[in-house]
A and B are shown apart, each in its own frame.
Chain A
């Protein structure tokens, strides 16, 4: 019965439209048959590993060749150990508006342990921005539109059954599958992307 309910929820979420794609957080071919949405929390160690070890290969093998579109989504976990995650997500989303999402996301993951302990998120973000970009990002990070964009990603992920990070949603025209844990192994991902591309 529970599985039937889960199947129904998954079917309904498959029908629900995801939030609009932020072009500053998307790479690859927007008309590709397969889309990969990556739900991350910048304070999550497994997300750091995925970002630094698996994502570069995915970008090279699939996004750069136009086979997929990769979209980054925010999923700050609401737990005490990740109390600065939402602030980091707001800065990353703001940075996307000035074309610096990749640099900020990489910096946040790279210095994850430091800012998660000290709470100095802005110092990490500011280090990869010019003074002019810093001013814009600081304003944008408090903009209600940016904050609601972060929340929209969280709502979308929660509705799709995501309960941890990193989780990917792989989709083509008709199907949408949340992928996490061991299934984020590159060889399995590659195989699934190829199957969904057919």
Chain B
């Protein structure tokens, strides 16, 4: 293994862990608050029927937490990174739609209170790009789990 590829591998691990940590943090921010507040944030987008809002508000943070933990641990990486990318693509599309139609609503990304703006779009767009890169890495290289660290120790 050459030096640049080792650096690339370390970088990919760092980016994956950052992405996983962001997801886990977003989940924690929602789980520590009453679930009704997140239901409100989902409902404000006006895309789901009332019967779907509450179940989604109660389960989505747990899914985010699971994805975050899996990404950080490097376990089931392909499934976790695809799920992460699809979720971020979905969130980003909703935010762009809300912003483009002039809706003044909370993005609901890290709990309530943060209105959708260019900043939130830029942040979520960057996260989506990062997630797509992690997904590409997961499918183009061997699994990046604990084995990576063993490999680096042996270099």
State the A residues within 8 Å of B (CB). 2-3, 6-7, 10, 161, 163-164, 177-185, 188-189, 191-192, 195-196
Contact = CB atoms under 8 A, between A and B. Distances in A.
Interface size class of B (residues with CB under 8 A): 20 to 34
Interface of B: 25, 29, 33-34, 36-37, 39-44, 46, 50, 53-54, 104-106, 109-115, 119
Contact of B37 (A6, A7, A183): A183
A181 B29 contact: no
A181 B44 contact: yes
Nearest to B110: A3
B114 A183 contact: no
Contacts of A185: 40, 43, 50
Given A191-B36, A196-B34, A181 B113 contact: no
B40 A3 contact: no
Contacts of A181: 40-41, 43-44, 105-106
Given A181-B44, A196-B34, A188 B110 contact: no
Contact of A10 (B41, B53, B113, B119): B113
A188 B40 contact: yes
A195 B34 contact: yes
B113 A161 contact: yes
B33 A180 contact: no
A192 B114 contact: no
Nearest to B25: A3
A88 to B, nearest CB: 23
Contacts of B25: 3
